[in-house]
Structure 1
């Protein structure tokens, strides 16, 4: 391999060094982020969510407060971190092969998100804190709404339908319902059952269930009849 005209190493080595530096920065950032989460969750579980300050989290993670806020702008986002695998449903669906049957792709997207979700050993304890603390609970609902829009976009693309199609909306919401049902079963159980089995059982129960959809008015509404 030839060198450049001034005798320096070729650009290939410049690009390689740049990529290595970028990879190291990303690795360090990921490690710092995980350290912050671990410290914060430990404090939340030990002392309670409202009793812990961002300054104490930064001190425990051995970083500056400004650095902490760059990673997590609020305590709500910190405690919600282990619970946000459902936000990946849209991306996981987009990763599935285009020629894969839609129902198979939907199931695979749910399984992939739930596997990451159930790996966190403190997930159940964190969920109990969130369920009883108004601020992170409200933030979780906001994130769920945003994630649902992204999921609807991915489902619409796979179905070849407009994003406001009722089938797209129902399919997307059903995915989130299945995710929630399996997660709740896992929280309530002994956490040792393979997640694939839990997903398949939940899907089987849904497919065999007698589901009654709300119907349109069968009679003239009272307001119209009185006018």
Structure 2
């Protein structure tokens, strides 16, 4: 999973440059989103502000929404946290720890990266829809992890409601 604004010393030069480019693009986009508004900012303006070509921008991000969602990374935070818990731990405690992991992940993603990120993601319809989709995927992955952990059937209502 991509970890914003951190370098892995084991990465090669190409990977470090890609991370750096993504960071520059994200920072440029956030500046423009705050200054001009999310809806008013174009991909071309982001490329220009990041001092890169449009084709480079589109190589890294499909659209503004994918730029805004970058710090969240891929869904699976809660499932990974559940997998790290002891095998004999009660499911409710596993879920509680998974929720705490998600909250920590979100706080780190939004506050460390940019203080206005949460506002941008929730106040604009397109990124907000992606945030809801991200949560839905997060929930499904946690449910799959709990099914695997407990050996329950896929239609088990206890797991689904949990």
Displacement after TM superposition at 1:72 (Å): 1.7
CA distance in 2, matches of 1:26, 1:100: 38
The structure 2 residue matched to 1:152, chosen from 143, 146, 160, is 143
Is 1:60 the counterpart of 2:49? The answer is: yes
Q: Aligned to 1:161, what secondary structure does the other structure show?
A: coil
Matched-pair contact (CA < 8 Å) for 1:130–1:136: yes
CA distance in 1, matches of 2:25, 2:84: 29
TM-score (norm 2): 0.75
Matched-pair contact (CA < 8 Å) for 1:85–1:116: no
Displacement after TM superposition at 1:52 (Å): 0.7
Corresponding residue number in structure 2 for 1:76: 65
Matched-pair contact (CA < 8 Å) for 2:85–2:94: yes
Corresponding residue number in structure 1 for 2:97: 108
Corresponding residue number in structure 1 for 2:19: 30
Matched-pair contact (CA < 8 Å) for 2:78–2:99: yes
Q: Aligned to 1:73, what secondary structure does the other structure show?
A: coil
Corresponding residue number in structure 1 for 2:4: none
Matched-pair contact (CA < 8 Å) for 1:156–1:162: yes
CA distance in 1, matches of 2:154, 2:59: 33
Distance 1:113 1:26, change over 3 A: farther
Indicate the structure (1 or 2) with the bigger Cα radius of gyration.
1
- Greater relative CO (CA pairs within 8 A, separation 6+): 2
CA distance in 2, matches of 1:28, 1:101: 44
Corresponding residue number in structure 2 for 1:183: none
Deviates most, 54-63 or 41-50: 54-63
Q: What is the RMSD computed on CA atoms of the aligned residues? A: 2.7
Length, aligned pairs only: 152
Q: Deviations over 1:76-123 (max 9, x none)?
A: 122233456865222332233434444443333322332232133366
